[in-house]
Structure 1
């Protein structure tokens, strides 16, 4: 982030704060949209649809301003750390095929994968072990399990992964005539994405109750384990905060205070597939890790790489004229750009992506500890450089939720 961009963002945020545009209070006002979700979620609305293929209801988030629709899929929490290397490589190749399918479909505007880790107090682990314990098991095995439950009371966590795909149903050759046909078209496009073989198991499409739970529990973590009946009657606007204040480096809302960080720089070296493991490890505070994608079409991807090559050579030439030789990092940038261009010429796709992390503390007093925990997790990745989302805390917070907002999706 350049100094000019930083101070310009600081000026824009202070101007918005002066006009109280960074504060939200859910009160009844004589305005038609006074009770909408705040910020980037203001144009979204929730539609309860019926999926004829599964016979279940599906929640579809509709962006009323742009006409886009976002469908979220709940994934089964799992991993590939214990899998053979060949299986991991096969999963990566299959995932690249999924991204390739996104680039050739004009209706898919972007996608994001989010993993939410909510720490538990240990009761869930004890209850699960108690229910599954075999009374005929050997005494030694029982003692080992009991000692494990007793000595790790804070090591449990609830993991909730999901994938959101943003679709423009009107980008087809025959645009849908009404809202019902638009929902059906969006469901058809998302169903065409085959995630089998990517190492991810699909649990089900998010229902309207699932979406309400994910959004409401993000603003108020205390209700994360509430019953489905507590969310069934909530309106979409009631899933948002009752009050919120968007600060320069923090976002205060109903049940706590959140801090969000964004990707500062792409890794300049090959990284292992387990690089995100420190971020995904349970901690004291609720954490949400979001990878947002926008696959560029072949022509746009080729143009981007040509600009990267030209810029890399221009920077190296300018440095050589001043200092006598170019920096080694500039030469490496040019080599990487040429390598990427060669891969695109061989059929690969260019993906615009970013990484966002949000940590939520229950009180302002816990905010320093939450920030320290996040900083340690990022440093432990040893390859990913991130920074606070200066002046955009509320937007990054919402980008990790199934609200239909993806910062990489353009109009």
Structure 2
């Protein structure tokens, strides 16, 4: 339960992690691989029995690491990623210095944004310019829309229910539009200085106001100096124009087709107002101010002449536990597990509340088409049933957790059969500080906010902080889109 009462009709459920059928905690692929390894070892041992003294202990260690868990992931995957990161660090692949890069690499953003470029386009529908991020490797186009979300905590139940249903309709539209590869919604909360609130109140206070009113507002300013915050929100949609029945021939037609596809998503009634399509200057501001927080309040004119590469960092170091970049250090978290019980629609409120440090919360979506979604839930229900059956055969009965998981998979399959959509999605959180000394406090702030959601479990983005950092920006990168 959050800090306010939420009726049962405004609770959501149905979150499951994909799990294939395998022995113990092993996946289907791991089970087959290890079975093959054991078979090969058996054949080798038939000729050289002494080889088992070395191969069997090694195989058992690898199987144990694959079955064990570390931070919600297989321990084998965790340690393998750590070894890979150390190898990359020794090769200086985790360090970026733009001034040292030869042409043409100096014209690119670092990491996952290297293949992106920014296009300034004209939208005839709105009569304004639009910033379109083009991925030169995949050909995908990304268009971002600036949003102005409204509050729902004081809205009537019927209004909030309608907004949830409307958002469901938006996801349904994504599932039937083959050109939409994925989408993400980002809310960035930047705390304001205490002086900003005091100055604003001072300018608006009337000299003839009652004494009680003056004392009350002064007390509010004194006790909540950091309650002011700048909130920026946007939705980015990744479009694959080659999936059209008549693929566009040139870059101009691709941009026009992308604008047409994004215009087909009607966000009215979802609880947010559409401010406008993000211009090329808006994209530059969002990206540059994320890498260098000191320019957050700069004027638009300061971003208009920046090249795309200049929007990224001049220097950056992607560490195992943090990401250092121009004027700041960032730490990111990714979703580990959602609650298995129904949760209120406002469950993310603690993460979206202003804190002492800048925070960026991103929900990334990939809506499966109806046929793929049906195939996924059928595989999931078969895997859940097989796990329960196998455990019952070896231990006399299935685990209660397995029975509950099968029930959830069965319910999901029935919902999909009734027209519901299957969505691959993830949650990412990034916090940025300007001084390394503030990093521990920023970590603690986000971890407390995550615990306050009462059920959502996050884990640090070990060795991938730069990629998660970029996924929260309108760069056209999503970990769910291939």
TM range (shorter): over 0.9
CA contact 1:166–1:404 (8 Å) conserved in 2 = yes
- Which residue of 196, 215, 220 maps to 1:143? 215
- Which residue of 246, 267, 285 maps to 1:174? 246
User: Counterparts of 1:39-118 in structure 2 under 5 Å?
Assistant: 39-118=111-190
CA contact 2:106–2:309 (8 Å) conserved in 1 = no
Give CA-to-partner distance per residue, 1:175-231, whole Å, 9 cap, x none. 112111111111111111000111111111111111111111111111111111111
Q: Which moved more, 1:118-127 or 1:56-65?
A: 118-127
- Aligned to 1:386, the other structure's residue is in SS state strand
- Alignment correspondent of 2:274: 202
- Alignment correspondent of 1:295: 367
TM-score (norm 2): 0.83
Deviation at 1:57, TM superposition (A): 1.1
Give CA-to-partner distance per residue, 1:225-253, whole Å, 9 cap, x none. 11111111111100101111111111111
- Aligned to 1:176, the other structure's residue is in SS state coil
- Alignment correspondent of 1:184: 256
Is 1:409 equivalent to 2:481 in the alignment?
A: yes
- Which residue of 252, 273, 276 maps to 2:324? 252
User: Counterparts of 1:9-408 in structure 2 under 5 Å?
Assistant: 9-135=81-207, 137-408=209-480
Structure number with higher helix proportion: 2
CA distance, structure 2, for counterparts of residue 150 and residue 271 of structure 1: 35
CA distance, structure 2, for counterparts of residue 124 and residue 88 of structure 1: 33
- Alignment correspondent of 2:29: none
CA distance, structure 1, for counterparts of residue 195 and residue 142 of structure 2: 35
CA distance, structure 2, for counterparts of residue 371 and residue 153 of structure 1: 21
Indicate how the Cα distance of structure 1 residues 202 and 127 shifts in structure 2: closer, same or farther if over 3 A, else same. farther
CA contact 2:107–2:308 (8 Å) conserved in 1 = no
Give CA-to-partner distance per residue, 1:139-187, whole Å, 9 cap, x none. 4323322332233212211111110000112221111121111111111
Indicate how the Cα distance of structure 1 residues 244 and 42 shifts in structure 2: closer, same or farther if over 3 A, else same. same
CA distance, structure 2, for counterparts of residue 67 and residue 133 of structure 1: 54
CA distance, structure 2, for counterparts of residue 275 and residue 52 of structure 1: 39
CA distance, structure 1, for counterparts of residue 204 and residue 256 of structure 2: 42
Q: CA RMSD in A?
A: 1.3
Gaps spanning 5+ residues in structure 1: where? none
Deviation at 1:315, TM superposition (A): 1.6
Q: How many residues align?
A: 410
